[in-house]
A = this chain, B = another copy of it.
Amino acid sequence: MSKGTLIIISGPSGSGKDTVMKELFKLMPELKFSISSVSRAMREGEVQGEKYNFISRDEFLKMIENNDLLEYNEYCGNFYGTPIKPVNDCIENGQEILLELDVNGAYNVRKKCNDCFSIFIMPPSFEALKARLVSRGTETAEAIEKRLKAAKDEIERAGEYDYIVVNNVLSETVADIATIIKSERMKSDRVSVTL
């Protein structure tokens, strides 16, 4: 059986990435998702084991010590990381596994991994990005400014990715990502040539 593929997806806060990902898994249920381990507290609406495995700081430190993580970083005092075993299992089973990472995580995984490709989800405009962040209505003006600055910094590194998808219309964005994934399946090193 041919080996699987690691698909990295990034997008700044306000790019609409979460909704895109949800719809993508509906369209391509064969895709696997890498559940991150995090040491921060669970927020309202979050479910254990859905997008994140919430573990203690000590448990996280143990994972680091045991080399159980493909990548990790500390952000605002909390650890975020990608457990390596589910990723390796998918690759061995010839499956495609999606990793939702920030630009630094993406950079680190890209360096380590042979058979992966990466997609950056772009907000359609600065105004749309700002509007999305403001419409959440849960953050102070200062927090929004901070997120905007972070988003700009991430967007500046979009060129590090293999593909850039501009999230104008949700259904089109999802279709575009599906197009990329299907196209990548036809890469010559993933097709077995026997006649």
- How many subunits of this chain does the assembly comprise? 2
Contacts of A193 in B (CB 8 A): 122, 155, 158-159, 164
> Do B188 and A161 touch (CB < 8 A)?
yes
Count of interface residues, chain A, beta-carbon cutoff 8 Å: 30
Q: Mark A51-73, 1 if CB is under 8 A from B, else 0.
A: 00000000000000000000000
Contacts of A180 in B (CB 8 A): 183, 186
Given contacts A195-B125, A195-B155, contact A163 B179 (CB under 8 A): no
Contacts of A183 in B (CB 8 A): 163, 179-180, 182-184
Interface centre among A120, A126, A162, A163 (most CB of B within 10 A): A163
Asked whether A123 is an interface residue with its Cβ less than 8 Å from the other chain, the reply is yes
Cα distance A189–B159 when bound, in Å? 7
CB distance from A195 to the nearest CB of B (A): 5
Q: Hey, which bits of chain A sit against chain B, CB under 8 A? A: 120, 122-123, 125-126, 129, 152, 155, 158-166, 176, 179-180, 182-184, 186-189, 191, 193, 195
